[in-house]
């Protein structure tokens, strides 16, 4: 005589199907938290490249202010500057390439860690 087969209980069937739902949900939540920050970053420098001032103009402006410019890069439509400011603090500051005005970044505070945001 053959034994009748019964379907697996619903809870067992669901366990396999939704096992990754917790990880997927956490990843989605993390992505949603990051999106507004990325959206703000892309909005801070919106000038067309034809309207940008030369990188050298920003370097000269900062040097005249007593900064020691280490590197100037382009990041998300802004000039990103790594430098030592006039007070001797390490700085990573973003500048609008059209106006050469600072639009955000970090500078090392007095105790040597980078916990102060501009």
Q: How many CA atoms lie within 13 A of 117 on its CB side?
A: 2
Percentage of the chain exceeding pLDDT 90: 52
> What pLDDT, on the 0 to 100 scale, is given for residue 22?
54
- 2 within some domain: no
pLDDT the model gives residue 115:
52
Residue 117 has pLDDT above 50, yes or no: yes
More confident residue, 1 or 39: 1
Question: With contact defined as beta carbons under 8 Å apart, do 76 and 82 qualify?
Answer: no
CATH of the domain at 77: 3.10.450
Residue 70 and residue 39 share a domain: no
- Asked if residue 110 and residue 54 are part of one domain, the reply reads yes
64 φψ region: left (φ > 0), alpha (ψ -120 to 50), beta (else): alpha
State the alpha helices, DSSP H only, in the chain.
Answer: 10-17, 21-43, 55-64
Q: Give phi and psi for 37, each to the nearest 5.
A: -65, -45
**pLDDT at residue 35 in the model:** 37
Question: What is the rounded average pLDDT of the residues 52-56?
Answer: 97
54, part of any domain? yes
86 and 38, same domain (yes or no): no
Indicate whether 39 and 77 sit together in one domain.
no
Is 4 inside any structural domain?
Answer: no
> Mean pLDDT across the stretch 79-93?
96
Residue 11 has pLDDT above 50, yes or no: yes
Q: Does residue 92 fall inside a structural domain?
A: yes
> In terms of residue numbers, what domain contains 36?
10-43
């Amino acid at each position: 005589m053959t034994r009748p087969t019964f379907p697996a209980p619903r809870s067992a069937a669901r366990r396999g199907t939704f096992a990754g739902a917790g990880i997927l949900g956490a990843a989605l939540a993390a992505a949603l938290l990051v999106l507004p920050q990325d959206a703000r970053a892309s909005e801070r420098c919106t000038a067309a490249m034809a309207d940008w001032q030369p990188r050298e103009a920003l370097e000269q402006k900062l040097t005249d202010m007593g900064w020691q410019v280490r590197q100037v890069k382009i990041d998300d439509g802004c000039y990103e500057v790594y430098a030592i400011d006039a007070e001797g603090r390490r700085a990573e500051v973003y500048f609008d390439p059209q106006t050469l005005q600072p639009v955000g970044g970090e500078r090392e505070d007095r105790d040597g860690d980078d916990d102060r945001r501009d």
